[in-house]
Structure 1
Amino acid sequence: MKADMGRRYRAYPTGDQDEVLTGWGHTARALWNVALEQRVYLWEQRRYSLRAIEQSRHLTSARHELDWIGQLPAQAGQQILRSLDRAYDNFWNPGHAAGFPTRKKRGHRLSIPFPGQAVEVRKLNRKWAEVRLPKLGWLRFRLSRAIGGTIRNATVSRDGNGWHISFGAHTGRKPDAPNGKPACGVDFGVAASVFVSTETAPRLMPPTLTTNERKRLKALEQRKSRQITYAKKHQGGKYSRRLRTTITQIAKITTRRANRRQDFTHKLTTDLAKNHGLIGIEDLRVKNMTKSAKGTTESPGKNVRAKAGLNRSILDNTPGERRRQLEYKTRMHGSALVVVPPFHTSQTCGNPACGKVDPESRKGCGRLFACVHCGHEDDADHNASVEIEARARRTGGSDINSTRSTTTVRVPATGRRRTREAPKPAHAS
């Protein structure tokens, strides 16, 4: 019985609990790093693959010999080793995009995992509840929504806003039957955050920071840079209390920005999944799209700062997170997600009677698409969303990932033909 739904709540530990959880978080991070180094060493020296079952025996011995590991609950340590197993499995899985497991730095978000059997939840009233954690006692959290299932795992974490408790719950919910609602194509962009083919105006993500918050963040970043320079010059690199306070203030603002971005993303994907029966999106390669233009010393890049700003804008719209959310929300609400090849969606005419591909129809990065063959005019992003919908309808929900590396520009269509216009032959002299 695996967890099929996640729940996250704001936790409010006491002063003593906050101190204990902070220590556990750093211990969990160190334990991950030590376990990873042990696996890497054994593989490099002996070509031996170490797994969590065998490392758990080493962990039992270390708990008796090292007090700082013994203070961490045994269930949490075992969960960390199981998580490392999953990280390796994802790395070895050719169908998974995960890279090799990496070390966790000190600035990494503190996180302490627990199995579901080690925790107990009791409801205090309509708005508050408590969870009992091993060696910590009862931890209060805000019951913003019902858990709605059997708890399979729990994770206590801390970000810039404070502590949170997350539960992985098994609800037993079955995928909904097809809802029979109309199809749509969705184009994710930068100038227009989202353009849906069935709508006449784009959906714009509100600014994630106000003007004063942006000024405040810039000032804090500058202060942090000065304080780090001073620490390296006069304190041997040791962070002062003021520097740590500055880092905490920056974390609060950046967490607030991330929460606002996540709120828009959840509302968007839920609305799309509920109100459409078929959703087509592009198979974007965000990692390739946001590569740095810095280049090398021998061959430096051009327009590096402009490309860095574009990369930030792309990542701020989180196309990968939107796709991840649509993948599970469409199953919940009886719709289907179809991922189509992204080539030439912005250069293909959305007029069904034309459908020709020509880069001259979309010059530069303007907002207007004007077909040079039939005269069809439309907003460039809306025109792309119409083409995405057409490709999704033709695909019919089948797997098209095998076409991601196809370089041909010929796109099959029903009742019409879409192909790049062949270059006109040069006149013989």
Structure 2
Amino acid sequence: MSKADRGRRYRLYATVEVEARLTAWGHTCRALWNMALHQRIYAYEQRGKTLNLASQGVHLTQARCELDWVADLAAQSAQQVVRHLDAAYANFWNPDHSAGFPSFKKRGRRLSVSFPGQAVSVRKLNRHWAEVRLPKLGWVKFRLSRAVGGTIRNATVSRDGNGWHISFGVHTGRKPDAPNGKPECGVDFGVAASAYVSTETTARRMPPTLTKSEKARLRFLEQRKARQITYAKKHAGGRYGNRLRKTIAQIAGLKTRQANRRADFTHKLTTDLAKNHGMIGIEDLRVKNMTKSAKGTIERPAAKVRQKAGLNRSILDNAPGERRRQLEYKCRMYGSKLAAVPAFHTSQTCAACGKVDPESRQGCGRMFSCVHCGHEDDADHNASIEIEARARRTGGSVTNSTRSTCTVRVPAQRGRRTREALPAAHG
């Protein structure tokens, strides 16, 4: 069976009864995931056995016979939880995959319920509306903002701060486009300038994801949430009341609005780059290292901790990792290549003479002035030209350095192990 190669996401409009049941199912899926993960860890630590999908499927059938709250969940969704956990383990043991060890899911995570493609069906009502049939729930309406455009292989119902959505994994059968033969470019992703393309004369800046009034509103809600949590701990035994839950929902709504605006800019940026260029050079950034905390230790406390925290938020708000992920699959779609080049000294290298000198970038300002040849340019534009030159030297090959051999923590084995030894240990 062909796999899904595209994703489709729509706003779901369910009744109050259906929403309540989906909420209960979401918590059930989270509990099943945690129990299945704990079972695998316990079986390995105490008995030296490795559980797989088939063995845990038998235990799941027994649980559905004994526990009413598990039996209430659609059988297909419960099986999907075990399948996803098995896939998470397979990704972890795969030395070519960057996934870490599967983690437990907290109650505050986004609720989601998954279904296999054969368990759902979709029918179109009119130009703007359609319905999806979900097991045990019947037909539920959703906004048909775009055509499904293929065969549905899986479906996931999830909730965020704006309500419920349904996502379909769709097989369209589209093949990668032939090389488009368009101009090459280098792109410097930053904070002050969200993206500076080497073939352009002005930077592309992401609009503020929150307005001034929304930022003030968010700050007020966060302060109110802190006071309400303190009150709950002192007078209600830590139990959340309706007012606190309402505050949390309002914060989630603002955060979701911010994430949607960020995603909108990111998709438009990456689609435009992939469509209009034959090769795109970017920096091979280590976002996790770039956004480490600067608080230091008790013996050696750091300085300017709050300034570094603000910089970290700005870096993450521009989502450099998500931009790279989108460029990887969109370049294949539109016939272009992606080259991730080392980011070392791109901001201190002169694009005209190639000399590296930190003095050319005085005070990390916005201007680059080479102390050797006198070349002057915007610092980000100069860096983008240098990135393009490095990408041409690599021939447009993607550098997957984030999946190199590393040391990882394996909770189930209480030790440290390198990726090179993982397949042998798994066997």
TM over 0.5: yes
CA contact (8 A) 1:7 1:166 kept: yes
Q: What is aligned with 2:424?
A: none
Q: Offset of 1:99 from its aligned partner?
A: 1.6
Code of the aligned partner of 2:350:
C
Q: What is aligned with 1:170?
A: 171
Question: Are 2:360 and 1:379 aligned?
Answer: no
Q: Aligned ranges for residues 64-83 of structure 1 at < 5 Å?
A: 64-83=65-84
Question: Are 2:152 and 1:151 aligned?
Answer: yes
Q: What is aligned with 1:359?
A: 358
Q: Aligned ranges for residues 173-212 of structure 1 at < 5 Å?
A: 173-212=174-213
Code of the aligned partner of 2:306:
R
CA contact (8 A) 2:338 2:397 kept: no
Q: What is aligned with 1:415?
A: none
Q: Residues 297 and 255 of structure 1: is their aligned pair in 2 closer, same or farther, counting only changes over 3 Å?
A: same
Q: Provide the rounded CA distance (Å) in 1 between the counterparts of 2:207 and 2:383.
A: 22
Code of the aligned partner of 1:391:
R
Q: Offset of 1:334 from its aligned partner?
A: 0.6
Q: What is aligned with 2:91?
A: 90
- Aligned pair count? 403
Q: Offset of 1:255 from its aligned partner?
A: 0.2
Report SS of the residue matched to 2:225: helix
Q: Provide the rounded CA distance (Å) in 2 between the counterparts of 1:402 and 1:195.
A: 23
CA contact (8 A) 2:161 2:249 kept: yes
Q: Aligned ranges for residues 9-408 of structure 1 at < 5 Å?
A: 9-351=10-352, 354-401=353-400
CA contact (8 A) 2:189 2:196 kept: yes
For residues 300-352 of structure 1, give each alpha carbon's deviation from its aligned partner in whole angstroms, at most 9, with x where no partner exists.
2221111100100000000000000000000000111011011010011011x
Q: Offset of 1:95 from its aligned partner?
A: 2.7
Q: Offset of 1:230 from its aligned partner?
A: 0.5
CA contact (8 A) 1:149 1:171 kept: yes
Q: Provide the rounded CA distance (Å) in 1 between the counterparts of 2:75 and 2:399.
A: 45
Q: What is aligned with 1:416?
A: none
Q: Provide the rounded CA distance (Å) in 1 between the counterparts of 2:215 and 2:363.
A: 30
Q: Provide the rounded CA distance (Å) in 1 between the counterparts of 2:37 and 2:401.
A: 34
CA contact (8 A) 2:97 2:403 kept: no
Give 1 or 2 for the bigger CA radius of gyration.
Answer: 1
Code of the aligned partner of 1:304:
V
Q: Residues 71 and 337 of structure 1: is their aligned pair in 2 closer, same or farther, counting only changes over 3 Å?
A: same
Q: Offset of 1:401 from its aligned partner?
A: 4.7
CA contact (8 A) 2:284 2:399 kept: no
Q: Offset of 1:94 from its aligned partner?
A: 2.5
Code of the aligned partner of 2:140:
L
Report SS of the residue matched to 1:305: helix
Q: Residues 399 and 169 of structure 1: is their aligned pair in 2 closer, same or farther, counting only changes over 3 Å?
A: closer
Q: Offset of 1:15 from its aligned partner?
A: 1.1
Structure 2: gaps of 5 or more residues:
405-427
Q: Provide the rounded CA distance (Å) in 1 between the counterparts of 2:207 and 2:402.
A: 35
Q: Offset of 1:49 from its aligned partner?
A: 1.4
**What TM-score, normalized to structure 2?**
0.93
CA contact (8 A) 2:74 2:135 kept: yes
Q: Residues 404 and 325 of structure 1: is their aligned pair in 2 closer, same or farther, counting only changes over 3 Å?
A: closer
| Larger RCO (CA under 8 A, 6+ residues apart) | 2
Q: Offset of 1:44 from its aligned partner?
A: 1.2
Q: What is aligned with 2:409?
A: none
Report SS of the residue matched to 1:11: strand
Q: Residues 66 and 86 of structure 1: is their aligned pair in 2 closer, same or farther, counting only changes over 3 Å?
A: same
Code of the aligned partner of 2:14:
P
Q: Provide the rounded CA distance (Å) in 1 between the counterparts of 2:120 and 2:402.
A: 46
For residues 216-243 of structure 1, give each alpha carbon's deviation from its aligned partner in whole angstroms, at most 9, with x where no partner exists.
1000000000000000111111111100
Percent identity at matched positions? 76
Q: Offset of 1:296 from its aligned partner?
A: 1.8
Q: Provide the rounded CA distance (Å) in 2 between the counterparts of 1:156 and 1:317.
A: 27
CA contact (8 A) 2:115 2:155 kept: yes
Two-structure CA RMSD over aligned residues (Å): 1.3
Judge which range, 106-115 or 357-366, deviates more: 357-366
Code of the aligned partner of 2:391:
A
Q: Offset of 1:390 from its aligned partner?
A: 0.4
Report SS of the residue matched to 2:187: strand
Q: What is aligned with 2:412?
A: none
Q: Offset of 1:364 from its aligned partner?
A: 2.3
For residues 117-154 of structure 1, give each alpha carbon's deviation from its aligned partner in whole angstroms, at most 9, with x where no partner exists.
10011111111000101111001100000111110000
CA contact (8 A) 1:119 1:134 kept: yes
Report SS of the residue matched to 1:156: strand
Report SS of the residue matched to 2:298: coil
Report SS of the residue matched to 1:364: helix
Q: Residues 61 and 404 of structure 1: is their aligned pair in 2 closer, same or farther, counting only changes over 3 Å?
A: closer
Q: Offset of 1:399 from its aligned partner?
A: 5.0
For residues 397-429 of structure 1, give each alpha carbon's deviation from its aligned partner in whole angstroms, at most 9, with x where no partner exists.
235456999xxxxxxxxxxxxxxxxxxxxxxxx
Code of the aligned partner of 1:361:
S
CA contact (8 A) 1:283 1:404 kept: no
Code of the aligned partner of 2:118:
Q
Report SS of the residue matched to 1:97: coil
